[in-house]
Amino acid sequence: MQVTRRGLLKFAGASAAGILFSPLPWKLLDDIAIWTQTGPWIPKVPRGPLTTAFSTCALCPGGCAVEARCAGGIPYAMRAAVRHTAGRGALCPVGMTGHHLAYHPLRLSGASVIRRTSDQVETDSLSTQEAFDRILGALNTRPLATGVAVIDQRPGRTLSGQFRAFLAQQSPGYYIVPDDDRLRMHEAFSNACGKDGLSLGFDIERTATLLTIGTPVFDGWTRPARTAALLDRRHDARNPLKLIHADPRRTRTSVLADQWLPIAPGSETALVLGLTNIVMRDHPSLAARYVADLHTSDRRGMLDVLSLFTPGIVAKRTGIPVDTLEKVGSALAHRKPSMVIAGGDAAGPIDRDTHQAVAALNILLGSYGTPGGLLHRDELPMPATKMAAISTIGDVPDGSISLLIIDGEEMTCSTCWESIESKLSPDGHLVVSTSPFLTQLSAHADIVLPSPAPYETAAEVVGDPTDTVVSLSISTPLLPRKQGSVEPIELLNHLSGESVAMQELLKQRIALVHARGRGMIAGYQDGSGHRLSEFASADEIWSAFIEGAVWTSPPLHETPAHSYTLLGHSPNIVDRWAARAEGEPNGNGADGQVILLPTASSDAASCGRISPLMTKIYQESEVRPTRAHLVLHPDTGRRCGVDDGDQAVVQTESGSRHVTIRFSASLMPGVAQLSIGPDPNVSGKKSEFAGSDVFRNTLSRSPMAGVTAIVRRA
């Protein structure tokens, strides 16, 4: 038979058509999909009896109760514990996949040395004992002029007390907590009320009018159950909530709020003082009893500075119309109880002067110490021992740390590497991280001692810090602990020469709670509570905790102070406030110039590690903003010479970043939004942690003020 080109073409065409109708290629594709999903690298659910276990999610401070379905004692599915008082049947998507994190591709299998270059991050393994010896050597050979520091990103735990006790024996020893908005709010109210160590919670369940200034109340600011309750109350005729959100950024809270005030970047203080002026002008009887109790100099200074923030001036400064300002001030004064909350975004805290103005407005509205406002929280007892003072990274002198221990994963950007690096001694230092994963912060450490992953060991959960109810529970282990992981208490034992177990320390704290006799214990079976006095011993409470119980204590009923210092104790605050009345709304700079505003996740994903199965929500669908996307108003984009979908470069005084342009008509003209780390959308590659950032050296500014940036086509 003669083979011709025509015959070959006919054979090839017929074969291609036949393959389409043959089941062979489709069966092969199906088998390949199954093989890739059942390979030896995929965790397998063991065979065994199906059981149910209860625990507490420790991925964020919310402490939601979880119900785990287990096969052979290993969880394969999680959901919210419906009847449990901690969570009330709500759980975020990250919490539902918390048991996956033990198998995360960026989890470290043991003690590691980090090698970092300009464009890559690599890890070298070493034994745990060798890592301990290196750290102990750095502690014993450090120069006398330098100190030891611990950055505790989950303060309030029993482990936190151990850190502080250890640092009290060092000279100097710095116990550093995140410089977040909650800490600054407490400082502001302490200054105004003349009381140190205030601990306040937000009674949002009974608030009628809530003004939030950059606070992501619908985006991870509090636990999911409280967020769901807030959403429901917007349409509840019996207990309605009016939520007004002021923010130059377009966020989920901006979209879901009853009213969004798109204020100009950096004008939040002017907004608060302008509303205070309206309240004192139109409702003198509301504020009379507070103003009358002010010291003469304080009253004169307050009235003088408020005279600068007339509605017309504030409208010009913020970009909000006068009639809108008047309506917001009237709502705060008449729809009681009302409350103002500032900050809370993971992108960084709002400045202290704004918090002092917010504290003054809350006091004048009668929101401090009253239901529906800010209530005093009970305090969890801590063993009586000498402890190092609490400080923030800004309190530590530059170049003064020779040994730094970073506990846990990053929760806010106030503890990012850019704010830490300048505090390290230039003559030599050692940075140790206890993160179980390679994150944007642990990638800068010299040694990583990976702690157990979630649900591998008993973890203390001290509850939602925004709630008025204080809680304590234990995240009971549901997974076997991976060999090579190191609990932070083991590192402290090696450095201090002691030998204490974390479980015994937790039992000691529970004994202190039992001795106080306040609060309730609620189990998972039916959610019913039992008074603490019904438990004969702390061991009984521990047994209940292991089975999923939670201890709660209601807010304290303290009489509000009768004398206030609304200006606080900060020198020249009147002058700084007065300077906020000047300026124009941003938005029409030179071609290519914008005000760049940072955004960050405030929920459990803020640690930067999520289950690979969550990519549909956090990456592929782009529901969450990514570090690769710069969001602009279409008019701003055209002024910068870029179009939707273009590749561009954003440049600031700190650095540059290659981004993809995304247009959004709901964004304010003249501003741009860019997500900053921690980023839950990463691919799992070590190289993603290398490179400079556009917000380096600017994170001390309020995230609502932004930085000047140039956008150009790549």
As a whole number of angstroms, the distance between CA 507 and CA 510 comes to 5
pLDDT digits (tens, 9 = 90+) for 57-111: 988 888 888 999 999 999 999 998 877 665 567 888 888 989 998 988 888 989 9
Q: In whole angstroms, what is the distance from residue 686 CA to residue 439 CA?
A: 9
d(CA 698, CA 695): 5
pLDDT of residue 254: 92
Give the E-state strand segments of 569-701 in sequence order.
593-599, 629-632, 647-651, 656-663, 671-675
* Packing angle, helices 158-168 and 488-496, rounded to 10: 20
Report yes or no: 244 and 257 within 8 Å, Cβ to Cβ: yes
Using CA atoms, how far apart are residues 592 and 642, in angstroms rounded to an integer?
Answer: 9
Distance, first Cα to last Cα, the chain: 60
Which residues on neighbouring strands pair with residue 660, listed in sequence order?
A: 629, 647
147-152/401-407 β-pairing: parallel
The three-class DSSP label of residue 630 is strand
- Distances in Å between the Cα of 556 and the Cα atoms of 46, 506, 519 are 48, 24, 11
C-alpha distances out from residue 189 to 60, 158, 199, Å: 26, 26, 10
Task: Tell me the sheet residues that pair with 327.
Answer: none
pTM of the prediction? 0.88
CA angle 593, 598, 601 (to 5 degrees): 155
159-189 residue pLDDT tens: 999 999 999 999 899 999 988 888 889 889 8
Half-sphere exposure of 580 (CA within 13 A, CB side): 28
- Given a contact cutoff of 8 angstroms between Cβ atoms, the answer to whether 558 and 369 are in contact is yes
Give the dihedral of Cα atoms 656, 659, 661, 664; nearest 10 deg. -80
Q: Please check whether residue 347 is in contact with residue 318, taking contact to mean a CB–CB distance below 8 angstroms.
A: no
Task: Of 567, 608, 569, 326, give the one whose Cα is nearest residue 441.
Answer: 608
Distance CA 365, CA 209 (A): 11
Residue 280 burial by Cβ neighbours in a 10 Å radius (0-12, 13-18, 19+):
buried
CA dihedral sign of residues 438, 441, 443, 448: negative
Q: Answer for the pair 376, 200: CB distance below 8 angstroms, yes or no.
A: yes
Q: Which stretches within 337-432 are classed as H helix?
A: 352-364, 417-420
Pairing of β 520-522 and β 550-553: antiparallel
CA–CA separation, 587 and 593 (whole Å): 9
For 451, residues 6+ apart whose C-beta sits below 8 A from its C-beta are 408, 434, 435, 436, 485, 486, 487, 488
DSSP 107: B
pLDDT value, residue 683 = 45
- Contact of 346 with 602, CB cutoff 8 Å: yes
Which residues of the chain register pLDDT less than 70?
Answer: 1, 39-41, 84-88, 118-119, 286-300, 409-415, 525-528, 559-563, 583-590, 602-608, 615-625, 677-693, 696-701
Distance CA 623, CA 601 (A): 12
Question: CA 361, CA 131: separation in Å to the nearest integer?
Answer: 52
Q: What is the DSSP letter of 15?
A: H
* Mode of pairing for the β-strands spanning 629-632 and 671-675: antiparallel
Fill in the amino acid letter for 15: S
Closest CA to 629 of 675, 668, 669: 675
| Closest-CA residue to 394 (of 179, 606, 249, 246) | 179
What is the Cα–Cα distance from 449 to 184, expressed in whole angstroms? 31
Tokens of 461: 């959960």
What is the structure's pLDDT at 681? 46
Distance CA 180, CA 463 (A): 17
Question: Scanning the structure block, which residue is given the tokens 């021992």?
Answer: 385
- Rounded to an integer, what is the distance from CA 448 to the centroid of its chain? 22
SS3 45: coil
662: its two tokens? 């995304």
Q: In what order do the strands lie in the sheet with 259-261?
A: 259-261, 242-246, 209-213, 338-342
pLDDT of residue 373: 93
Instruction: Classify residue 59 by its DSSP letter.
Output: S
Bridge partners of 437, per DSSP, are 107
- 10 Å CB burial of residue 108 (0-12, 13-18, 19+) is buried
Are 458 and 503 in contact by the 8 Å Cβ rule? The answer is yes
